[in-house]
Amino acid sequence: MDRLKTSRILKDIYRRLFASYGPQHWWPAETPFEVITGAILTQSAAWTNVEKAIQNLKQAKALNPDALRRIPQDKLAKLIHTCGYFNAKARKLKAFAEWFGEGYGDSLERLFAVETNPLREKLLRVHGIGEETADSILLYAGNKPVFVIDAYTRRIMDRVGLKPTKDSYGGWQKLFMDNLDADVKLFNEYHALLVTLGKNICKTRPQCGQCPLNTDICRHLHV
């Protein structure tokens, strides 16, 4: 498929999803550091359970990097137990807090002053930070134009019939970033809308009759 057609389809998908679901107000958080924390906790977890963990951290006054460094790991694990894999995630949170303090003095301004690609590489070297988590931090906490790829996005686009040449995280990300304007607001809203569609309609067993893409965009019913 040529680039012009791919770009047109991607933009049409966005328009239809936005018309159907409206703005998603994502990421739901009070501070950029809360976004970062949520991005780590939401790995393999439902957002409702992450919200409970974040609320526990707030009540314990542990939702800041200094507190995360000071709190015993076992106590931290108990506070975040609702989001699953709590021991591993406690280690990840503490690893990020240590890295953030040592490298940037707990300053989000200093952190996000780093250019996007170098910062992404640095984040990926932090224990527990993979590509999706790093990109969520860059987009939602740092307001940098990076498209986040997740399982919902892959499933929806595969059913639509838009697949990258290389079936990898980078390949899927390139599909969006090469064919859409590098716009933070667009990337933010588009990803959130795909998540909404994937969670509610385009499930493992899709409810195609309720999908705004099921007429002339998605080929799932026609193959």
Q: Please, which residues have CB within 8 angstroms of residue 107's CB and are 6 or more apart in sequence?
A: none
User: Is the separation of the CB atoms in 89 and 41 below 8 Å?
Assistant: yes
What pLDDT is recorded for position 215? 77
Within 10 angstroms of residue 65's Cβ, the number of other Cβ atoms is 23
Burial label, 176 (beta-carbon count in 10 A; 0-12, 13-18, 19+): buried
pLDDT per residue of the chain (223 residues) written in tens, 0 to 9: 688 899 999 999 999 999 999 999 999 999 999 999 999 999 999 999 999 999 999 999 999 999 999 999 999 999 999 999 999 999 999 999 999 999 999 999 999 999 999 999 999 999 999 999 999 999 999 999 999 999 999 999 999 999 999 999 999 999 999 999 999 999 999 999 999 999 999 999 999 999 999 878 987 765 4
Domain ranges of the chain: 3-25+148-222, 32-141
Contacts of 69 (CB under 8 A, 6+ apart): 94, 97, 98, 101
Mapped onto helix, strand or coil, the DSSP state of residue 93 is: helix
CATH number for the domain running over 3-25+148-222? 1.10.1670.10
SS3 call for 96: helix
Residue 166 CB-density burial (10 A; 0-12 exposed, 13-18 middle, 19+ buried): exposed
Q: Which residue has the tokens 């994502």?
A: 26
Determine the Cα–Cα distance for residues 188 and 27; give it in Å rounded to an integer: 8
Equal CATH topology for 3-25+148-222 and 32-141:
no
47-59 and 32-41 helices cross at what angle (nearest 10)? 130
DSSP letter string over 14-58? Answer: HHHHHHHH-----S--SSHHHHHHHHHHTTTS-HHHHHHHHHHHH
Instruction: Read off the pLDDT of residues 120-169 as tens digits, 9 standing for 90 and up.
Output: 999 999 999 999 999 999 999 999 999 999 999 999 999 999 999 999 99
pLDDT at 99: 98
Length reported for the chain: 223
Does the N-terminal peptide bond of residue 172 adopt cis geometry, omega within 30 degrees of 0? no
Which of 1.10.340.30, 3.30.70.20, 3.30.70.580, 3.30.413.10 is the CATH number of 32-141? 1.10.340.30
pLDDT at 223: 47
Residue 106 is given by DSSP the state T
The two three-digit tokens of residue 164, written as one number: 């990258």
* Amino acid sitting at position 210: Q
| pLDDT number for residue 1 | 67
Please report the sign of the dihedral spanned by the C-alpha atoms of residue 16, residue 186, residue 63, residue 100: positive
